[in-house]
Amino acid sequence: MQLVNRKTVKRVSALILVLMLILSGVSCFAATFKKSQAGVSYGGSQFKLGATTTGAKLKKAFGSCTTKNVAVCSTVPYGGRLYTFKSKGISIETRYKTEAQTSEQIITITLTSGTVPTISGLKVGNKVSKLAEKYGTKIHKDRYNKNHAYYASGNYILDVYTKSKKISKLVFLIDL
């Protein structure tokens, strides 16, 4: 005669494992940096790294832009221009995604003041400890610069610069 069925044994075993992990200090549900977190809300719009947008939408939020002519390279495979849209504490850089030059792709988002939060709610000026809450503990530390580290998710990167245990600059970028 069977006293306990197999389903019950599996459930109890899983529960015991989760409790052991929690008690040992290992987080079962740790945050990690994801591509979907690479962006900001600004001027009534969301701007996400890698997203395709129009210059009109960016100009509405930022007012104007500067352009830089570049030769054909990995960042701008068709040659042409990089567009930089700036406002207080934020800059967004775009490039044309296709040779037809009909839409722009956001390739860099830089935050330099606490006026604009990331999609995850992180701001320049937050304590460094808040990074792990928002993006997890899989951060890569720079061997040569103790004030620089980064998160990576595929070819999406979040560069983090710190000063006095606070975030001083955040840069989302695509490693093309």
- 128-168 residue pLDDT tens: 989 888 888 888 888 899 999 999 888 899 999 999 999 99
Instruction: For the chain, count helices (H), then strands (E).
Output: 3, 11
What confidence category does residue 127 fall into, taking pLDDT thresholds of 50, 70 and 90? very high
CA distance 100 to 9: 61
Task: Give the number of other Cβ atoms within 10 Å of residue 173's Cβ.
Answer: 19
pLDDT, position 63: 81
Mean pLDDT for the stretch of residues 80-89: 84
CA nearest neighbour of 97 among 78, 70, 69: 78
Q: With contact defined as beta carbons under 8 Å apart, do 55 and 66 qualify?
A: no
**Can you give the pLDDT at residue 15?**
55
Whether pLDDT at 120 is above 80: yes
Closest residue by Cα to residue 172 from 50, 42, 75:
50
* Whole-structure pTM value: 0.75
Q: How confident is the model at residue 12 (pLDDT cuts 50, 70, 90)?
A: low
Mean pLDDT for the chain overall: 79
Rg (CA), the chain: 21
Please count the other Cβ atoms lying within 10 Å of the Cβ belonging to residue 76.
Answer: 18
Window from 8-17, 114-123, 165-174 with minimum mean pLDDT: 8-17
pLDDT at 88 exceeding the cut of 80: yes
DSSP conformation class of 108:
E
pLDDT in tens, 22-64: 444 444 444 678 888 889 988 888 899 988 877 778 888 888 7
Average pLDDT (68-92) is 73
